[in-house]
Homo-oligomer: A and B are copies of this chain.
Amino acid sequence: MNDSLQALNEAILSAFRVEELPALPVASVEDLRRRVSNGFDFDRPHALPDLIGLAAGLLRDGAVHTPHPRYFGLFNPAVTEGSVAGDALVAAFNPQLAAYSHSPAAQEIERHTIRALASRMGLPEATTGHFTSGGSEANQTAVLLALTHHFPSFGDDGAASLPGAPRMYVSELAHDSFTKIAHSAGIGRRAVRKVPVDEDLRMDMPSLREAIAEDRAGGSVPFMVVGTAGTTAGGAIDPLQGLALLAEDEGLWFHVDAAWGGGALISERRRSLMTGIDRAHSVTFDAHKWLSVPMGAGMIFTRHAATVGETFRVAAGYMPNRTEHGLDPFVSSLQWSRRFTGMKVAMSLAHLGWDGYADIVERQFSLADELRERLVSAGWIVLNRTELPLVLFSHPSIESGKATFEEVLDRVYAQNDAWISIAPLRPGRRALRACITSIHTRSEDVERLVEICEQARQESS
């Protein structure tokens, strides 16, 4: 086992030297397939140190390196040392998190962490929460809580028993998981009403009011409104305070999807961006985004603990007894047995402290400001007005049709020194997208990104 641990240490250290690597995969799919089928031959045993070397090599040669300092990507983070250590410990001890009595230490570490984050959000003392596989499961949990809370017959008799077609409201730039979730929750994809956005890409309140009124007039039953705090494509924050008031007036469940943007709460200077989140019935937050821990570490918070118990109730005779310490996780979440996800979050928070995280968050805000300035100085156009570190941009030569986004992107990828993407600014209108998402990103990386984009554009024009 010592040889294996030595090999593992070397591989982990190499993962933390990712800046020495190209940002994108260098091996062809054919090459990867060959190495996988030769190396992972299950018909005979292989020495573990060899396998670790093989696996690390595949991960080095066959991935977009999300921990890379010039990965300006999809909120997939570089990971902190504390979170990797926590995750490795969890793998080795493998505690079972379905029943409190099986893993009291793990349960207490998760509760401590959930409470600390709920308090950071300004949610009331009685808020409960739990870890999920990611933002999709957290958002799905929110939809199920809202349906179960709003419609007493939903749990036993399903969507067919509701007094009309259920309707939920999201911005047209909300995460597309909500459409999948409506399918999965048996209310149908048509239950999701996509509300137009205003010029700042935020949900348009008059349009929302109109949609609700129209639905009610048509016999449908509105039950939920979702505010996105940091849209994936453009980093917009829906008007959370206005949505909280409207939800109260209309008797709707108010959910905030702060999967990414919620990280801004950690900075005292930036937390006001999230004002209104404290009035939500439920909140989604992903630690594997702005808290820079390995995937997956979603969380769902809610002030309606009784609804959680109602939604996930079961009676399983072979499970340990319920505990005086609250509901066992298997009767309060979609999952049953699950990984001890909270450990990596707790380890990372304790290692860096709130201030350490605030430094990261504030640096990323500043780097985005720097990126916007550098792009504009180099003749580019910034197309979104969010304060969050997500920049949508274009160039006059693209706008005039001399080059396309795809041509520029292909050349950026060909240089293989940074990763950005193309995103919809609004339906039918696209832009290049760069998000400051790695804890390793520094000013020189932002400077280099602008050089790379400018070179790619010049070659495309």
Contact = CB atoms under 8 A, between A and B. Distances in A.
16 contacts: A11-B92, A27-B104, A40-B113, A46-B350, A51-B82, A83-B91, A91-B294, A91-B344, A159-B187, A159-B188, A160-B187, A176-B314, A184-B184, A232-B318, A233-B317, A318-B423
B185 A186 contact: yes
**Most chain B CB neighbours (cut-off 10 Å) among A4, A18, A186, A339:** A186
A44 B349 CA distance: 9
A303 to B, nearest CB: 21
A116 B314 contact: no
A218 to B, nearest CB: 15
B8 A85 contact: yes
Contacts of A187: 158-160, 186
Contacts of A56: 89, 93
Contact of A176 (B89, B105, B316): B316
Interface string A77-114: 11101111111111111111110011111101100110
A67 interface: yes
Interface string A195-223: 00000000000000000000000000000
A313 B325 CA distance: 40
A58 interface: yes
Interface stretch (A135-143, A240-248, A377-385, A448-456): A135-143
A61 interface: yes
Given A94-B67, A317-B423, A108 B12 contact: no
A171 interface: no
B424 A334 contact: no
Nearest to A183: B155
Interface in A19-74: 25, 27, 29, 32-33, 36-37, 39-48, 51-52, 55-56, 58-67, 74
A367 interface: no
A16 interface: yes
A57 to B, nearest CB: 9
A346 B144 CA distance: 34
A155 to B, nearest CB: 5
A320 interface: yes
A147 B158 CA distance: 13
Interface string A325-362: 10000000011111110011011011111111000000
B66 A96 contact: yes
Nearest to A312: B180
Contacts of A112: 36-37, 40
A58 B88 contact: no
B94 A66 contact: yes
Nearest to A340: B295
Contact of A108 (B62, B156, B179): B62
A162 interface: yes
Contacts of A42: 116, 349-350, 353-354
Contacts of A188: 153-161
A96 B66 CA distance: 7
A227 to B, nearest CB: 19
B61 A105 contact: yes
A5 interface: yes
Given A155-B188, A233-B317, A59 B93 contact: yes
Contacts of A338: 133-134, 295-296
A13 B1 contact: yes
A443 interface: no
A295 B106 contact: no
Contacts of A180: 312-314, 334
Interface in A240-284: none
